[in-house]
Structure 1
């Protein structure tokens, strides 16, 4: 993957390769649930040799109603907050983990542009992870075009997962700038 992170820099090494390697070492599995990235996260993961040992599968739930139907996000949460929300991101990650029978769920939701969505600005992205020890979500405020926002979301999601895999820190992935994480 030749994409850049939130700083418009290429991470050292492949973030996906680092995550796949660590999950393999730990004997743990992964599932993905994607909205704005539309399959890019899964594609980044499955291009790594040996991924079949750790990757259970993924869901692309671009339409809001599919977030409930396929990923199990509560309909009342979607109705109250909309699809671009930190709690929705966590529910996506938890739903992917549960539906695919994986140790870890990794999710993306946000606004890639070119237009704002439901009063949410272009570049607002939430990446979430759910795993054996709980869930975490990061807010990203990205700039740039649609392609950059989507590819940066993939890198940042992988970075978030790397922070939570046992025995890892950031898996050799450079720290972002250009994105506020809260």
Structure 2
């Protein structure tokens, strides 16, 4: 009788775990935008998206004043562009596009959007995020809220950074959309340039 009861409890727990795992929402965040900007956009597309979203001229944007040599393009390219007004700040970071594309040399790899801290702003950000992106992958957790395509099986550990996937994260009043595929592509590109044929 005890063995049978134990088996029933075990099966029940397994069933509960399965339901819990199925409850985690999987979503492709590379289709999401932050203030009109999506990862993978080139520099000009990002500028157009920002100016359209905030209804400002390109001259109002904060641009990288000291561009460095980009290891992919081989010439100087901006690392970021952004916009800030009254404490509301948007920043977009770029990687050299791989495969190399002379017409579209850069790709947006990370986007951040932030409001000044206050309890009201935190609550407003959480509400706006759910309205725009749908329930978080780790709902009902909210510190932080995360969205991703492969959330895993436990809400408390959803969208772990070890999975190396695109993740949208809202922590208090800071929103970040990060797609590591562009950084990884740049690293592999640079590594391939070091390839040599042994001649000993």
Relative contact order (C-alpha < 8 Å, sep 6+): which is higher? 1
TM-score (norm 1): 0.31
Rg larger in structure: 2
